[in-house]
């Protein structure tokens, strides 16, 4: 059975005390009734008893649209659940809050390295220069290094790049390794050695 919707004026008899009465939507189903506030208060002169509606056309249209929202919810709920009861309107009036987890900020390893360099203010200038040089060499080797790329093979490829392309000596390569591995990689958990 389908829900019947009607507008009800001043069900709580507030006109005498306040001069205005609340317009509510009455939902009737299987002998049960439920009343929903429209938050609209009108005087008896603004209410049409014959039409059971507000006299002012724009407000009457808004009330019809509100009833249409209830009807739409009822039809959709009934289609999904194959049944409907008046208490199901609680889901319409107070929908469950679905929290959407914020998208994690994805940052590359090279960006992380750059950020760490800018935060290191207590280090000596020589150390900062060496770390900046290491970062420059990494970017020359591979412009963007993601955290997923940090594998032993990447280190081997970086060493080959430093030896063959940049023609660096063993001690300089070792210095870059120490800066790259010890300073940055050890702080990061979960890096595979394969």
pLDDT at position 10: 86
pLDDT in tens, 91-101: 888 888 878 77
Q: Is 30 left (phi over 0), alpha (psi -120 to 50) or beta?
A: left
Task: Give me the torsion for CA of 7, 8, 14, 16, rounded to 10°.
Answer: 100
pLDDT at position 4: 93
Judge contact between 37 and 22, C-beta under 8 A.
yes
pTM summary value: 0.50
- Answer whether residue 37 shows pLDDT above 50: yes
Of 83-87, 112-116, 140-144, give the lowest mean pLDDT range: 112-116
Give the mean pLDDT of the chain.
83
Share of the chain above pLDDT 90, in %: 20
CA dist list (Å): 158 to 47, 72, 132, 164, 181: 82, 63, 16, 10, 11
pLDDT at position 111: 87
Which is higher by pLDDT, 61 or 105?
61
Query: pLDDT confidence of 13, banded at 50, 70, 90?
Result: confident
Query: pLDDT confidence of 8, banded at 50, 70, 90?
Result: very high
pLDDT in tens, 68-96: 999 999 998 888 888 889 888 888 888 88
- Answer whether residue 187 shows pLDDT above 80: no
- Answer whether residue 158 shows pLDDT above 70: yes
Give me the phi and psi of 6, to 5 degrees please.
Answer: -140, 155
How far is the C-alpha of 6 from the C-alpha of 28, rounded, in Å?
Answer: 8
pLDDT at position 180: 63
């Amino acid at each position: 059975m389908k829900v019947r919707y009607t507008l009800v004026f001043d069900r709580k008899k507030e006109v005498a005390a306040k001069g205005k009465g609340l317009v509510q939507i009455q939902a009737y189903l299987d002998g049960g009734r439920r009343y929903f506030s429209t938050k609209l208060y009108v005087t008896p002169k603004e209410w049409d008893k014959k039409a059971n509606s507000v006299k002012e056309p724009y407000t009457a249209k808004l009330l019809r649209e509100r009833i249409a929202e209830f009807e739409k919810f009822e039809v959709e709920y009934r289609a999904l659940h194959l049944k409907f009861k008046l208490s199901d309107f609680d889901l319409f009036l107070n929908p469950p809050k679905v929290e959407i987890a914020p998208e994690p900020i994805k940052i590359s390893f090279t960006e992380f390295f750059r950020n760490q360099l800018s935060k290191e203010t207590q280090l000596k200038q020589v150390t900062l220069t060496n770390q900046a040089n290491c970062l420059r060499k990494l970017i020359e080797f591979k412009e963007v290094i993601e955290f997923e790329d940090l594998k032993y093979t990447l280190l081997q490829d970086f060493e080959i790049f430093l030896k063959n392309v940049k023609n660096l000596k063993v001690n300089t390569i070792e210095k870059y390794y120490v800066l790259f591995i010890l300073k940055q990689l050890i702080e990061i958990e979960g890096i595979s050695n394969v």
